Structures are given as structure tokens and as C-alpha cells.
Structure 1
């Protein structure tokens, strides 16, 4: 499932390529035909993400809410501005030097060699993939497209979302009110205090609270495992037994890691890497995380084998020594 950084990056694509334009909205699949007619032909005036949910505002005071869930994805195509962290790697996210100049696979500065906008196709979900340039515009829909958003120069196709609906402002406010704080939306003291209070009043294990979108927005399996290891926090500890200091440290670390994810397109969770190690980590998940997907391998700190267990139906990775 896409985590918070992915949804914020998708919102950025809409801000760069759709906001300010009149949009033709259709439902090639047919399942969203009624909703599409409500916003068809209107100008998109805003694109924002809160946690794992995205909201697109139109000039008739209506919003399109999308939650990608486990299987959803957006395909962008046309003369779109491609984020250099994608273009430099030709879609293989992370195969680029993020420290300083952004280089493409030939070692050239992608901001100049790739150029923007570019007539291409870009898939954005849990990961991002840049596909070959398109030969006609708009391209034919591929697969079961729930909704198509089309301007004179760009198209976005949505497939397989958990939620796709048109809402009025009051309904949008009601959805957002149920969500926990999102550091990209608000990383100030009020958001931090809200998170700390929510955690420390519950007897639920902290490993579950971090995945509860009403407690904090945007954290999924990867960030949950990595945040808890970085804090040396046992995932089974009830929230009300987590110290205030640790709860605040978890929030501040989430602020930092989320921003790194939005800027690089990668859930980079390891610190203090030299340039070569950083490039390896950006190119391969095996070198990017402390515990996630490392079950049975030695902990990078103590050497104990990383454990894998199930917590409320989701996989949990942790070190039984460093997080004892």
C-alpha cells in the first residue's frame, strides 16, 4: 500500500500538471460515470494530500477524494513535468545521486538532459515507474480505468482505488477531521502534541497505534517498522507506557523521514551513510532499511536475527534485543 510520501508526490504531479486547467472527467470503466459528470468540464484549483488520502478541488466547489488502498495506482501521460528524482533513474527510483547534482544513468544533469515537460507516461503508486514516451495523445486507457482526468496536454488514469468519490467541502472537512496529523500539512507543536496525547492515552500497542490513521496520518508497514527501530521502541509496548520523550521523538523522526520520502521518492530510513553507501541504499531496498524485510538476517546493530511476526494482520519486523 502506498504510504504518505507517495500520495504527497502524486498530489505534486497534479499541482504541476493539472491545477489551473479545465479538466474533462470520464469513467472508461463506467463505475464512476455519475461522479465524473459532476466535475467534468471544470477547472482544477487545488491538489492536496493528507496521509494516504488525496483531494482534488474543482471550481464548482466539489472535490474528488481518492484513497489508493492496496491496489490503486495513477498513470500520468502527456507533456508532463517529470520529477528529476524519477527522470534521473529512468523510472527505477533511487538510482541517482541525491546529494547535489541530480544525474541520469549516463551521468548527465537530468534537469537539462531530460527536460520538462516531456511527452511520456508515468505510473505512481507504492513505487514509481517511468515508461517509454507515448506516440499519440491521449493514449488509449489501459485496463479498468475508474476515472480519467484529461487536459489539453496531460491525462491521469486511476485504477483499482479503495475510494473514489465526489464530495462537497463539508464532507471533505469531515473526512480530514477523522485523520491524525500529517507532518507535511502541519509539523508544528500543536500537531506534535496531538500525536503524543493520542498515543499516551491508549492501552493499544504502539506498533498498532502508528498504523492507526486517526492517530497519525501516512504511516504504513515500512515506516512503522523503521520508526520503532530507530526509537529502539518495543512494538508491543502499550501507548500509555511509552514515555513522553519517546513519543515526541517518534513524531519528530516521522517529520524528518516523511520529508525525505517526499523529496527523494524513497523510504530512506538509514542515517550517516557515506556517499557510496547512500547511492547503494537509494538503488536497493536491501541497503536502505534497518529491519523492514530483513527477517532472519542479523540486526545491523547487535547481530541478533530480525524477527517477523503478524500484528493485526500485517507483517511486523523488529529486533528483540535493541527493541527489547
Structure 2
């Protein structure tokens, strides 16, 4: 599932390409035909992202809410639109560009009040400049594992499996450790690290979490080859040596999601 940095990057890109002019909105697949008709030909005035939720703001208080889920894609092509390929739920088109949405979990038209209600259910987002205190209080007062809490979108919005695994490695915290057992200054450090890592991810479009001294060039190792891209410490590296201590990276599940950690570095 795309993590929060991807959604913020997508919001920025869609705004840059389409904002300020009337946009043709259609549903070649047909499943969003009624919603598309509501905003077809209406100028796009804003885009917004909160966690893994994308909002496209059209005039007259109309928002298209998109959640990509596990399989969704929203591809922007800076070329005049041609015939759609595959099951395109929604197409946004201007004379010189188009964007095709495929396979989302959610694609619906909302008004401002419903958009606000979705935001109210989400925790602070490291990429929005939100106050972290509500999230840190919930984590610091919970018996649940911190690895589960960081993935709970009502606690912290936008953090997914990769950032969860990596930020806990960088903090030296076992993902199974109860949230309330983690000192407050460490929790604040985790939040600050998330802000920095996710801001870099939004800028580059990939997740890189290793420190300079552990980059491939510095260590004399081969770069990571993975569909997710980016240099990481533990994510999807189960059984392979830790970049820091050479202990085999452990793997397991938490809240039905794969999790990875170093048994030596994250005690």
C-alpha cells in the first residue's frame, strides 16, 4: 500500500498539472460515472493529502476522495489523452495532460463536512506540520506494541509498513515493545525522524532510510534491488545480515502485517 509520502507527492503533482483550469473528468470503466458527472468540466482549485487519503478540491465545495488501498494507482501522463487502457476508474484530462486512476479502494465525491469527518478520524500526519502530541500521548499511554500503534492510522496518519520498520530500527526500539514503556524523549525523536524521512520521500519519490555510513558506497556492498526501491535497514531483509551488526534480520507479523527488526540493535 502506498505510504503517506506517495500521497502527498501525488497531491502536489496533480495540483501542478491541473489546478486552476476546468478539468474533464470521466469514468471509462463506468463505476464512477455518477461522481465524474458532478465534477466534469469544473475547475480544480486545490489538492490535499492527509495520511493515505487524497482529496481533489473542485469549485462549489466538491471534493473527490481517493484512497488507493493495496492495489490502486494514479498515473499522471503529461501528454494529450488517448484511448484508456485497462479498467480506469477515473480519468482527469486537460488538453496537454491526463491522469488515470485504477483499482482504488475509494473514489467518491464528498462535500466539505464529510471531508472534515474523515480527517477527524485520522491521527497527526508528519507531512502536514501537525502537532504530534495527540499521537505521542496515545502511544505513551498504551500497552499495545509500538509497532502496531505506528501503523494505526487513527494514531499516526501516513506511516506504513516500511516507515514503521525503519524508524523503529533507527531508534533502536523492538516493534513488540509496549508503547507506554518507551520514554517520552524517544517518542519525540521517532516523530522528528518520521518528519525528516517522509519529507525526503515526498521529495524524491522513494524511501531511503540508511545513514550515510551505511550506504552501499560507504560499506562496499551492492545496492538494494527491490520493487519498493530505496536503501533500508530491515524492511524485507529477513534473514539477511544487519548493516550495522551483521545479526540476521528477524521477521514476523504484527496486526496481520509483516514486520522486520534486528534482534541485536532493537532490544
Flag whether TM exceeds 0.5 (same fold). yes
TM norm structure 2? 0.93
Does the alignment pair 1:151 with 2:94?
yes
TM norm structure 1? 0.77
Which of 161, 177, 182 does residue 120 from structure 2 map onto? Answer: 177
In structure 1, the partner of 2:249 is: 306
In structure 2, the partner of 1:50 is: 50
| 1:113-192 matches, cutoff 5 A | 119=79, 137-187=80-130, 191-192=131-132
Deviation at 1:272, TM superposition (A): 2.1
Superposition RMSD in Å: 1.9
Runs (5+) with no aligned partner, structure 1: 81-118, 120-136
Structure 1 segments (4+ residues) deviating >6 Å: 280-283
Does the alignment pair 1:296 with 2:239?
yes
Distance 1:174 1:7, change over 3 A: same
Number of aligned residue pairs:
263
Does the alignment pair 1:59 with 2:72?
no
Runs (5+) with no aligned partner, structure 2: none
Deviations 1:142-191 (A, max 9, x none): 1111111111221111000011111000000000111111122115xxx1
Alignment partners' CA distance in 2, 1:152 and 1:62: 22
In structure 2, the partner of 1:231 is: 171
Alignment partners' CA distance in 2, 1:277 and 1:25: 46
In structure 2, the partner of 1:202 is: 142
Deviations 1:201-228 (A, max 9, x none): 2221100011001111111111110011
In structure 2, the partner of 1:110 is: none
